């Protein structure tokens, strides 16, 4: 599906999908890594391990993009994100959704120099970390 979508958009020469187990395999060396609805499945230690692995795989100036139903920092506006967090607590062993401030802090802890939150359509946002 990824390859067909990239080809339809005319970007197939610039993008690659890397299959694998991100707990066992090294992350690919690349300029940009995207974790879409990945981190909310895991507990804090596992989240931090994945963010650290992403940092280690990126060159200076590279970017990690975390795409999730990011909860607003006041925890009052994104009802979908809050309900998704409850869902993760019920369905996983330690997973939870998080605020933009949480994700930015985790990125800074592992060494990302710049971070920002960008709202997207609907309840989703992305947190961008630049190494």
Residue 66 lies in a domain: yes
Say whether 40 is catalytic.
yes
The model's pLDDT over 14-67, given as tens digits with 9 standing for 90+, comes to 888 888 899 999 999 999 999 999 999 999 999 999 999 999 999 999 999 999
**Catalytic residue, candidates 37, 40, 67, 93:** 40
Question: Looking at residue 17, what is its pLDDT?
Answer: 82
Q: Which residues lie below 8 Å from residue 7, measured CB to CB, with a gap of 6+?
A: none
pLDDT band at 115 (very low <50, low <70, confident <90, very high): very high
The helix (run of H) or strand (run of E) holding residue 81 is helix 79-91
* Within-domain flag for 37: yes
Contact 127, 65 (CB under 8 A): yes
Instruction: Please state the rounded mean pLDDT for residues 117-124.
Output: 94
Closest C-alpha to 87, from 126, 34, 51, 123: 123
| CATH code (residue 74) | 3.40.50.150
Range(s) of the domain holding residue 116? 31-130
In-domain check, residue 7: no
Question: What residues does 35 pair with on adjacent strands?
Answer: 66
Sign of CA dihedral 76, 80, 83, 89: negative
Number of domains in the chain: 1
CA angle 52, 48, 22 (to 5 degrees): 65
**Percent of the chain having pLDDT more than 90?**
83
Inside any domain, residue 87 = yes
Beta-carbon neighbour count of residue 8 at 10 Å? Answer: 9
Which phi and psi (to 5°) does residue 56 adopt? -65, -30
């Amino acid at each position: 599906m990824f390859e067909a979508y990239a080809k339809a958009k005319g970007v197939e020469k610039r993008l690659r999908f890397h299959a694998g187990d991100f707990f066992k395999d090294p992350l690919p060396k690349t300029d940009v890594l995207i974790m879409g609805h990945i981190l909310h499945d895991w507990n804090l230690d596992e989240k931090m391990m994945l963010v650290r692995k992403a940092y280690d795989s990126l060159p200076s100036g590279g970017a990690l993009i975390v795409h999730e139903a990011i909860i607003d920092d006041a925890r009052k506006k994104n009802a979908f994100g809050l309900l998704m967090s409850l869902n993760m607590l019920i369905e996983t062993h330690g997973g939870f959704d998080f605020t933009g401030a949480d994700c930015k802090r985790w990125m800074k802890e592992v060494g990302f120099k710049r971070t920002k939150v960008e709202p997207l359509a609907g309840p989703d946002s992305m947190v961008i970390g630049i190494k």
